A = this chain, B = another copy of it.
Amino acid sequence: MGTDTITPRSKDFSQWYLDVIRVAELADHSPVRGCMVIRPGGYAIWERIQQELDRRIKETGHQNAYFPLFIPESFLKKEAQHVEGFAPELAVVTHGGGKLLEEPLVVRPTSETIIYAMYSKWINSYRDLPLLINQWANVVRWELRTRLFLRTTEFLWQEGHTAHATEANAEEETLRMLEVYRDFAENEMALPVFTGRKTDSEKFAGALRTFSIEAMMQDGKALQAGTSHSLGQNFSVPFNVRYQDDAGQMQYCWMTSWGVSTRLIGALIMAHSDDNGLVLPPRLAPLGAVIVPIWASDEEKALTLEAADRIKRSLAGITTVKIDDRDQMRPGWKFSEWESRGVPARIEVGPKDVAKEQAVLVRRDNRKKEFLPMSAVRERLPLLHAEMQHDLFEKAREFRDTHIRVIDDYAEFKEYMKAGEGFALSHWCGDREVEAKVKDETKATIRNIPLDKFSNPRPEEAGACLVTGRPSPFRVLWGIAY
């Protein structure tokens, strides 16, 4: 493939990641510092993510809406932790229509403040609750070190924002959406994740509690793939989001917010792809199969193209299919190109195949070849997709499970993290400073505290903190994060 060579993962994982993106034409750097361009190949994946996630968001009773890109600077300052967390990352509009603005406008880094200013207007009575709204939008956070999809100054995301009458209702919503993310990650992205609660030092600026789903990439690093926040009344008080309860009393609402972003595309790449390029779980692949007719003469071309067309028509309603009828490239070149672009299945049809009324089906991830009657492709392809989807998940899970170690000794922990081998399950005394010390010394952070530990504490899991030796009720999940 000439200049389109992909650096092997084993040689340089970071370069491999960028090579996969370049060769599959998923994204590109832009002339604007830290901002990426999502190319058609990458945007089509985002559209599939949106479709599947939007369906789940609506099925759980939420409606989409759209709020302003700009937020008056004073709004952010109304919640002390919130502004402290986001102030260093803001892009600020100071001029509009040729004039200096009286009050600068911040380009939204997240929309709690502007959305809750509207909720304050819309919510009057307990009958207006719960208010369940989601927004698909772009947001801007001024990042110093950027990386395509994983961390960019501007990115695309969805942010859900809900208001409830009680803390229990809000907590239930927070966990419901965490579960939506887990289900989406595991069943659509084929990405096994750990659900859990963030420590205070890693929680969202302004939240009571933050929950996350955490995945392992092929280099053993952790990727936070989605977060769900229980905001308590931290925002409803400064933004005056109140309702009249059934006894006629005014009460402050309990809020939640939750989001996932285009960083999920980075997760897909780093979890499943290989040295030949992109590998996509079939459920999120924009193109389900490519048909490559193989010919050596005009007569053979007509013959194989006709067969390719018949197969394509037989797949109508089953999956999206493209015929690669380009004249300039040889079949082998085409095979490599479609592999690098992550199309889950390739269907080859040569003159001999046409004579036998057969086709060759090749699965992207394991490159297994099957010969089957042309008429059977329609029945076989959905099964191949399902098998591949299942296998990608199992492979990722096996990889992850063999890259988690229970470690109770800090020296061993340091060595393990230095080698970059994966996650550790280790005891922690709950002290924020211990967390900071470990991060400083090993780059590892607490990814989350597994969810079932809170609801189901077991005395036999208690132990001593990795660093201080102080008592710890259970081990938490450590890793080096993207």
Give A contacts to B, CB under 8 Å.
Answer: 28, 30-33, 35-40, 42-44, 46-47, 63-72, 75, 87-98, 104-105, 107, 114, 117-118, 121-122, 127, 133, 137-138, 140, 142, 144, 153-154, 156, 328
Distance (whole angstroms) from the CB of A131 to the closest CB of chain B: 10
Q: How many copies does the complex hold?
A: 2
Out of B28, B33, B153, which one reaches A121, CB within 8 Å?
B28
Out of B35, B47, B105, which one reaches A69, CB within 8 Å?
B35
Which residues on B sit within 8 Å (CB–CB) of A140?
69-70
Can you list 29 residue pairs at the A/B interface with Cβ under 8 Å? A28-B122, A30-B67, A31-B75, A31-B114, A32-B68, A32-B71, A32-B114, A35-B68, A35-B70, A36-B68, A37-B118, A38-B65, A39-B65, A42-B65, A43-B64, A43-B65, A44-B64, A66-B156, A69-B154, A88-B97, A89-B97, A91-B97, A92-B94, A94-B94, A94-B95, A96-B153, A107-B107, A127-B328, A138-B138
Distance (whole angstroms) from the CB of A367 to the closest CB of chain B: 28
CA distance A137 to B92 in the complex (A): 20
CA distance A36 to B40 in the complex (A): 30
Which residues on B sit within 8 Å (CB–CB) of A89?
97
Which residues on B sit within 8 Å (CB–CB) of A91?
70, 93, 95-97, 105
User: A43-B66, A65-B39, A138-B69 in contact; A98/B107 too (CB < 8 A)?
Assistant: no
> Do A47 and B64 have beta carbons less than 8 Å apart?
yes
16 additional A-B pairs beyond A36-B68, A46-B66, beta carbons within 8 Å, are A28-B122, A30-B68, A31-B72, A35-B68, A37-B68, A39-B65, A40-B64, A40-B65, A43-B65, A88-B98, A90-B98, A91-B95, A93-B93, A93-B94, A94-B95, A96-B142
Distance (whole angstroms) from the CB of A144 to the closest CB of chain B: 7
User: A91-B93, A91-B96, A114-B31 in contact; A154/B68 too (CB < 8 A)?
Assistant: yes
User: A65-B38, A96-B142, A133-B40 in contact; A32/B154 too (CB < 8 A)?
Assistant: no
Which residues on B sit within 8 Å (CB–CB) of A47?
64
Closest 5 CB pairs of A and B: A97-B142, A40-B63, A35-B68, A38-B66, A92-B95
Which residues on B sit within 8 Å (CB–CB) of A65?
37-40, 42-43
> Do B144 and A32 have beta carbons less than 8 Å apart?
no
Closest residue of chain B to A75 (Cβ to Cβ) is B31
Distance (whole angstroms) from the CB of A206 to the closest CB of chain B: 19
Which residues on B sit within 8 Å (CB–CB) of A69?
35, 107, 138, 140, 154
CA distance A122 to B37 in the complex (A): 12
Majority secondary structure, A binding face: mixed
> Do B94 and A90 have beta carbons less than 8 Å apart?
no
Residue of A38, A68, A105, A144 most packed against chain B (CB within 10 A): A68
Which residues on B sit within 8 Å (CB–CB) of A107?
69, 93, 107
CA distance A95 to B89 in the complex (A): 10
User: A31-B72, A97-B88 in contact; A67/B133 too (CB < 8 A)?
Assistant: no
Which residues on B sit within 8 Å (CB–CB) of A64?
40, 43-44, 47
Which residues on B sit within 8 Å (CB–CB) of A36?
68
> Do B44 and A63 have beta carbons less than 8 Å apart?
yes
CA distance A91 to B38 in the complex (A): 23
Closest residue of chain B to A154 (Cβ to Cβ) is B69
> Do B98 and A87 have beta carbons less than 8 Å apart?
yes
> Do B40 and A70 have beta carbons less than 8 Å apart?
no
Which residues on B sit within 8 Å (CB–CB) of A38?
65-66
Out of B43, B71, B87, which one reaches A63, CB within 8 Å?
B43
> Do A144 and B105 have beta carbons less than 8 Å apart?
no
CA distance A63 to B42 in the complex (A): 11
CA distance A129 to B68 in the complex (A): 37
Which residues on B sit within 8 Å (CB–CB) of A154?
68-70
CA distance A68 to B88 in the complex (A): 21
CA distance A63 to B43 in the complex (A): 9
Distance (whole angstroms) from the CB of A145 to the closest CB of chain B: 12
Distance (whole angstroms) from the CB of A44 to the closest CB of chain B: 7
Which residues on B sit within 8 Å (CB–CB) of A67?
30, 37
CA distance A142 to B93 in the complex (A): 12
Which residues on B sit within 8 Å (CB–CB) of A97?
88-91, 142, 144
Distance (whole angstroms) from the CB of A215 to the closest CB of chain B: 23
Which residues on B sit within 8 Å (CB–CB) of A328?
127
